[in-house]
Amino acid sequence: MGYSINVTSEEEGNVQLTQKKPHCSMDSLTSWYMSTTQKTDPKLPRKKRTTSSQWQFPPVVLILKDLESFTTKVLQDFIIISSQHLHEFPLILIFGIATSPIVIHRLLPHAVSSLLCIELFQSLSCKEHLTTVLDKLLLTTQFPFKLSEKVLQILTNIFLYHDFSIQNFIKGLQLSLLEHFYSEPLSVLCCNVVEAKRRVSFLSDNQCENIRRLASFRRHVEKQGSEKQVALLTNEIFLKEEIQLLLENLHVYHTNYFLILRCLHKFTSSLPKYPLGRQIRELYCMCLEKNIWDSEEYASALQLLSMLAKDELITILKKCCKVFKSSEEQLDSTAKRIEEFLVQFQGLDEAKEEENTSGSQSKGFQKTDLYHLQKSLLELKELRRTSKKQSKFEILREKVVNFIDSLVREYLLPPETQPLHEVVYFSAAHTLREHLNAAPRIALHTALNNPYYYLKNEALKSEEGCIPNVAPDICIAYKLHLECSRLINLVDWSEAFATVVTAAEQMDANSLTSEERNEIIHARFIRAVSELELLGFIKPTKQKTDHVARLTWGGC
C-alpha cells in the first residue's frame, strides 16, 4: 500500500506464485515483499518496525470480507504465523464483520486476540454509495448517457428492496448502456458535444430519416414555421445543421438542469417530513417523471420554505453559492443573484442593530414604570392586529422563494420536452425488467414443455401437443400431468409414462428382461414425480392415497 508497483512486475510475481502454489508460505510472501520494496525504492535502508503504529516500509493489507465464515482453527493459525513475521514485513488485517465486533473474541481466544491491535471503524452505508454512484455517473454532463425515470426506478427498487448490492446496480447500469447502444440506431450521437457535432456531418440518409421519425423531433418541427418545416423534412444539409444546434442545446439543458436540481435539493433536503425526499435521487426521479411544480409535494415544500428562519435561509444560500461556484459553465447570473440576496440579509442585520441603538438612545429618558410598560405592550398588540405589514426579512424571504420557484419552472423541465432526448436517454424499462426481474414460472414451463428451447437437440423437436419419447423424464411427466385434472391418479400417470418411455427403448428391449425394464422405468417415474413435487407443481393429498394434487392450472 502506498507504493507504485509496475503492472509487469506484479504480473510476473503473480505468475511465480501461481506456479509455486503448492509451496506457498510466509517465506515466499516475505521474499516477494522485500524484492518489491527494494525495486521500488532501493535507497531506503532496511529497518525493523520502531513502534506499533509506524513502519519504515508500507504495510501489506489483507481484507477478509466475511470473518464469520472462516474456520476458527485456520484463522487462529494464520494470525499466529503472521505475528511471527511482523519483523520482516508489516501486515494489516481488515475484518469484514456482519454481526457485531464481539464475534472477534468469540472466534479467537485471548492468546490470539492479544496479538492484534484492534481498531473499530464503520464503512459507509450502501445507500451513501448509491448516492455517490448516481452523483458521479448520472447527475453530471461528463457522461452523456442518461436513464429515464422508469428505468432508474427499476434499478433503485431492486437495490433498496432486494439485495442492497452496488455491484448489481452497476451491472444493471451497464446492461442499460449495452441495450441502448444495441437497440437505438441513433445512439451513435450519444457522446460529448464536440464529437457528436462532428458525427452529425457523416450521418447517412437512413439515419436522417430515423431522426425525422423521433417523436421529440416531430414535435419540434411542428412548432416551426412552414418554410422551416419543409427544409427540415427535405433538405439534408439544413437538417444536419439543426441537429447540431439541438445537440448543443441538449447539453446546455443538462448543465443547467443538474445545477438547479442540486440547488433545489439544498433547499428541500432539510425540510420537515421531507416532502421532496431526503436523497437527491428521490428528487431526481420526481423531476424526470413530470413537471414537479404541478405536484402537491412541491407546493408543500414552498410553504415550508416560506417559514424558514433567517439563519437557516442564509446557510442554504451559502450552500447554493458553493454549488454554482463548483461549475464554471453556466448560470453566472443566478450565482450573482444569490450572492446579492446574501448581501441583503447581512444588510438587514446591520439595519436592525442601528435601530436598536437609536431606539435605546431616544427612549433613554422615558419612564420605565409598570404603567408605561403595559401601555406600550397594549399598543403593540393593537398595531399587530390592525396592520399585518410584512417585515423587511419576510419580504426578502418571499423574494428568495419566488426566485427559486422561477428557476425550477424554467430549468427543471422533464427530459421528454427536449428535442432528440431519445439519443441519450434509455427508456426501455420493459426490456430491462425482463433481464433483471426473473420470472421462474415462465422459464420452468418453457423448459419442461419445450426442452428444445434450451437444449437445442434436433431429436427433441416435435409438433405441438405431441410428447417426444426421447425427452428428459421430468419433461415427459410434466407434459402428461398437464392433461390431467386437479387430482392425478399415480397408477394411470405411471402407465402413461411407461408407454412413452418404452417407445424410445424398444431397441434395448432384448438386453433386459421385462421385469428389470419395468423396475427401471418405475424408478425413473418416481424420480420425475419427486422433482415435480420439489418444483411445486404437485403435492400429496389426503383425499385419496394413490393420488396427488395438481398445484397449477392452465397452460403454465
How large is the average pLDDT for residues 138-159? 94
How large is the average pLDDT for residues 357-386? 56
Helix segments in 159-214, DSSP class H: 166-183, 193-200, 205-213
Q: Is residue 251 included in any domain, yes or no? A: yes
Q: State what percent of residues in the chain have pLDDT above 90.
A: 50
Average pLDDT of the chain? Answer: 84
Q: Is the pLDDT of residue 427 over 80?
A: yes
Question: Rounded to whole angstroms, how far apart are CA atoms 94 and 282?
Answer: 34
> Are residues 416 and 277 part of one domain?
yes
Is-contact 141 255, C-beta < 8 A?
Answer: yes
In this predicted structure, what is the pLDDT of residue 305?
Answer: 92
Q: Is the pLDDT of residue 204 over 70?
A: yes
Question: Rounded to whole angstroms, how far apart are CA atoms 41 and 140?
Answer: 40
The residue from 82, 113, 144 where one domain ends is 113
Q: Is the pLDDT of residue 365 over 50?
A: no
pTM > 0.75: yes or no: no
H or E element: which one contains 60? strand 60-64
Is the pLDDT higher at 323 or at 3?
323
Q: Is the pLDDT of residue 162 over 80?
A: yes
What is the domain count for the chain? 3
Question: Rounded to whole angstroms, how far apart are CA atoms 253 and 312?
Answer: 30
| Domain, as residue range, for 175 | 130-353+392-423
Q: Which residue has the cell 443538474?
A: 258
In this predicted structure, what is the pLDDT of residue 31?
Answer: 86
> Are residues 346 and 200 part of one domain?
yes
Burial zone of 475 (CB within 10 Å; 0-12 exposed, 13-18 middle, 19+ buried): buried
H or E element: which one contains 396? helix 392-411
From the list 337, 336, 346, the residue with the least C-alpha distance to 314 is 346
Quick one: CA dihedral 314, 317, 322, 328, positive or negative?
A: negative
Is-contact 518 502, C-beta < 8 A?
Answer: no
- What confidence tier does 542 reach under pLDDT thresholds 50, 70, 90? confident
In this predicted structure, what is the pLDDT of residue 491?
Answer: 92
Q: Is residue 265 included in any domain, yes or no? A: yes
> Are residues 511 and 419 part of one domain?
no
Give CA 360 to chain center in angstroms: 60
> Are residues 58 and 150 part of one domain?
no
Q: Is residue 343 included in any domain, yes or no? A: yes
Per-residue model confidence as pLDDT tens digits over 211-262:
999 999 999 999 999 999 999 999 999 999 999 999 999 999 999 999 999 9
> Are residues 398 and 519 part of one domain?
no
- What confidence tier does 21 reach under pLDDT thresholds 50, 70, 90? low
| β pairing state of 547-550 and 487-489 | antiparallel
Q: Is residue 400 included in any domain, yes or no? A: yes
In this predicted structure, what is the pLDDT of residue 232?
Answer: 94
**Between the CA of residue 228 and those of 217, 233, 315, 325, 484, what are the distances in Å?**
13, 9, 49, 39, 67
> Are residues 335 and 246 part of one domain?
yes
Q: Is residue 120 included in any domain, yes or no? A: no
> Are residues 472 and 542 part of one domain?
yes
**Residue 93: beta bridge partners?**
62
In this predicted structure, what is the pLDDT of residue 166?
Answer: 92
> Are residues 330 and 190 part of one domain?
yes
> Are residues 281 and 195 part of one domain?
yes
Is the pLDDT higher at 174 or at 86?
174
In this predicted structure, what is the pLDDT of residue 466?
Answer: 78
Instruction: Tell me which long-range contacts 379-383 makes (C-beta under 8 A, separation of at least 24).
Output: none
In this predicted structure, what is the pLDDT of residue 5?
Answer: 57
In this predicted structure, what is the pLDDT of residue 73?
Answer: 92
Question: Rounded to whole angstroms, how far apart are CA atoms 364 and 362?
Answer: 6
> Are residues 532 and 400 part of one domain?
no
DSSP state of 412: -
Q: Is the pLDDT of residue 441 over 90?
A: no
Is-contact 161 123, C-beta < 8 A?
Answer: no
Q: Is residue 71 included in any domain, yes or no? A: yes
Question: Rounded to whole angstroms, how far apart are CA atoms 43 and 49?
Answer: 18
Q: Is residue 108 included in any domain, yes or no? A: yes
In this predicted structure, what is the pLDDT of residue 46?
Answer: 47
Q: Is the pLDDT of residue 72 over 60?
A: yes
The residue from 86, 113, 140 where one domain ends is 113
Q: State what percent of residues in the chain have pLDDT above 70.
A: 83
Amino acid at 67: L
> Are residues 227 and 170 part of one domain?
yes
Is-contact 210 184, C-beta < 8 A?
Answer: no
Q: Is residue 304 included in any domain, yes or no? A: yes
> Are residues 135 and 93 part of one domain?
no
**Residue 60: beta bridge partners?**
91
